[in-house]
Amino acid sequence: MRPLTHWWRSRADDRGHDPFASETWEQVWASLPVLAGLDAARSARLHRLALDFLRDKTLEPVQGLELTDPMRLTIALQACLPVLELGLDWYGGWYSVILYPDAFVPEHQVMGDDGVVWVDRTAKAGECWDRGPVILSWADVREDTRLDGHNVILHELAHKLDGRSGGTNGCPPLHKSMSGAVWKRTFADAYQDLCRRVDAGEDTPIDPYATESPAEFFAVVSEAFFEIPGLLFDEYPEIYDQLSAFYRQDPLRRLAEAAPSL
């Protein structure tokens, strides 16, 4: 926290384009432990990305929800954490975040693997449409300040990154330095292992929802990567390494280096 506060104060004269008070930034930042350990340079970059995110995307409250500045920053800072080292271009092609006050019940026609069409009326905390908006429950966003591996913003934005490959299948576009074959083998092995453990009734540190599909597995382990990196590394170190290469971040190392000041 201290490096970021120092950066805010030292750059106060350069922030005329920033519509938010420094007190608001500090309040929101302190409420988000997922941002712990970021050094001054990364904090400044996340600050700029959050502002750019709010200029590029519209936040659309519905059902009477009133949007405040802390709410805007809470969403933007967490949404930009996955692209901290990738850039906001990775969120290109969609333009809005729709906010419900609480869990919402969309009614979509869904075709199952067997070809049967049915209407999905499941209450949801978040949803991501292909080439469309991200939809969030503010009640769930507000509850996601604990580092427990559940973060609806990180989850839905992981789907957006995944979808840049042309479909949400658990394999986003990889950097040239990465091997697609290694990624697919690593994720397939871990996915099958988690499915086996969940089917056997084992209580796993990784949310069992990850077994719904390879796409959900990628989104869930992305949540874990940022929120509970130590547990993810202990369970699936090769998954951690692949995500570290993809996101170009190393939360475990970041936290270890920042430990004396936290």
Backbone angles phi, psi at 9, to 5 degrees: -70, -40
pLDDT of 54 higher than 70:
yes
Task: Name the pTM for this structure.
Answer: 0.87
**Between 124 and 7, whose confidence is greater?**
124
> Which ranges in 11-169 belong to alpha helices (H)?
22-30, 40-56, 69-80, 138-143, 152-163
Mean pLDDT of the chain: 87
* Lowest mean pLDDT segment, chosen from 38-47, 72-81, 142-151, 171-180: 142-151
Per the CB < 8 A criterion, the answer to whether 84 and 45 are in contact is yes
- Cα atoms in the Cβ-side hemisphere of radius 13 Å centred on 150: 13
pLDDT band at 126 (very low <50, low <70, confident <90, very high): low
- List pLDDT tens digits, range 167-224: 889 999 999 999 999 999 999 999 999 999 999 999 999 999 999 999 999 999 999 9
pLDDT of 127 higher than 70:
no
For residues 247 and 229, give the distance between their C-alpha atoms in angstroms, rounded to a whole number: 13
pLDDT of 16 higher than 50:
no
Amino acid at 1: M
**Between 130 and 29, whose confidence is greater?**
29
Residue with tokens 């966003």: 141
Q: In the chain, pLDDT over 70 holds for what percent of residues? A: 82
User: Please, what are the domains in the chain?
Assistant: 2-14+21-261 (3.40.390.10)
For residues 168 and 130, give the distance between their C-alpha atoms in angstroms, rounded to a whole number: 9
**Between 136 and 124, whose confidence is greater?**
136
For residues 86 and 88, give the distance between their C-alpha atoms in angstroms, rounded to a whole number: 7
- How many CB atoms sit inside 10 A of residue 156's CB? 22
Buried b (16+ CB within 10 A) or exposed e, 70-86: ebbbbbbbbbbbbbbeb
Mean pLDDT, residues 26-47 taken together = 96
Element (H, E) at 220: helix 214-227
pLDDT of 14 higher than 50:
no
Q: What is the number of helices (H) and of strands (E) in the chain?
A: 11, 6
Mean pLDDT, residues 91-104 taken together = 86
For residues 197 and 215, give the distance between their C-alpha atoms in angstroms, rounded to a whole number: 18
